[in-house]
């Protein structure tokens, strides 16, 4: 591979490859120490192999691809309960596609993001929907908006505090607190709240 090249280029290329190997072996060690789930893909220790530089790079690329795919699968694993819940939510908002296709696209995107482990993205979309709906409810503040919903029979009176807290939390995630990072259950709960908010909006408009 390096025949005919000036010596300094050979040394630079060899140093570059050796640096990649060292980084790979370090990351490989972290992979085995941090990920305890079994079985997991085996990653070849490059120093154990005698091969060309092209062969080394091919092994590293293949092993990194396997490791990334495996780690992604761990991050995106859903419990049977979560899978059932997401399927239930999809069915629950099927009617929305013809009524409000814009909101339907938003909520479907939030569901898909949650299903793939992107909880921040899912939460931001859910919070956006909730904030949008809140702006459409009559009232100068959240308490007045909650009173309006109770008066119209859209929520039970004992849910008034829950409504106010839920609106505050949605705003925190969407605009107010950049450090607010949602947990898995918070993402799913806010997703459910967004669907309930859409139902309220539709009833107000009817």
**Dihedral sign computed on CA atoms, order 153, 106, 118, 167:** negative
Domain with CATH 1.20.120 in the chain: 80-205
- Omega before residue 80 within 30° of 0, cis: no
CATH match of 80-205 with 1.20.120: yes
Question: How is 58-91 classified by DSSP, letter by letter?
Answer: HHHHHHHHHHHHHHHHHHT---HHHHHHHHHHHH
Which pair of structure tokens corresponds to residue 153? 């029979």
Question: What are the pLDDT digits (tens) for 91-144?
Answer: 899 999 888 999 999 999 999 888 888 888 899 899 899 989 999 999 999 889
Contact 188, 82 (CB under 8 A): yes
What pLDDT shows up at residue 35?
78
DSSP-H helix ranges across 35-159:
53-75, 80-92, 96-99, 101-115, 119-136, 142-151
Here the tokens at position 18 are 């050796």
pLDDT at 158: 84
- pLDDT given at position 180: 65
Report the C-alpha gap between 128 and 157 in whole angstroms.
25
pLDDT (tens digit per residue) in 134-150: 999 999 998 899 899 99
pLDDT for 59 equals 87
pLDDT of residue 3: 52
Neighbours of 134 (CB within 10 A): 19
Measured from the Cβ of residue 124, the count of other Cβ atoms closer than 10 Å reads 20
Show the CA angle centred on residue 162, arms to residues 176 and 134, nearest 5°: 55
SS3 178: coil
Burial (CB < 10 A; 0-12, 13-18, 19+), residue 26, is exposed
Pull the structure tokens for residue 88.
């239930």
Q: List per-residue pLDDT tens for the chain, 206 residues long.
A: 445 555 656 777 778 888 888 888 888 888 888 777 777 788 888 865 577 888 888 888 888 888 887 776 666 667 768 878 888 898 899 999 888 999 999 999 999 888 888 888 899 899 899 989 999 999 999 889 989 999 989 888 888 887 888 888 888 776 666 666 778 888 888 899 899 899 888 888 75
- Name the residue among 68, 67, 19, 69 with its Cα closest to residue 46: 19
Token output for 21: 């190997």
């Amino acid at each position: 591979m390096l025949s005919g090249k000036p010596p300094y280029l050979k040394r630079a290329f060899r140093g570059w490859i050796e640096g990649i190997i060292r980084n790979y072996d370090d990351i490989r060690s972290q992979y085995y120490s941090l990920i305890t789930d079994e079985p997991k893909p085996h990653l070849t220790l490059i120093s154990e192999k005698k091969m060309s530089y092209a062969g080394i790079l091919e092994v590293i690329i293949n092993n990194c691809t396997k490791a990334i795919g495996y780690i992604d699968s761990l991050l995106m694993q859903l419990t049977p309960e979560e899978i059932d819940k997401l399927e239930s939510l999809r069915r629950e908002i099927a009617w929305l596609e013809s009524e409000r296709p814009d909101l339907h696209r938003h909520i479907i995107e939030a569901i898909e993001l949650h299903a793939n482990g992107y909880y921040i993205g899912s939460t931001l979309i859910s919070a956006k929907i909730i904030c949008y709906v809140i702006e459409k409810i009559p009232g100068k503040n959240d308490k007045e908006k909650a009173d309006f919903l109770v008066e119209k029979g859209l929520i039970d009176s004992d849910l008034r505090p829950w409504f106010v807290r839920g609106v505050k939390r949605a705003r925190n995630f969407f605009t107010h607190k950049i450090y607010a990072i949602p947990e898995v259950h918070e993402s799913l709960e806010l997703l459910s709240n967004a669907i309930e908010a859409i139902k309220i909006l539709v009833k107000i408009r009817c």
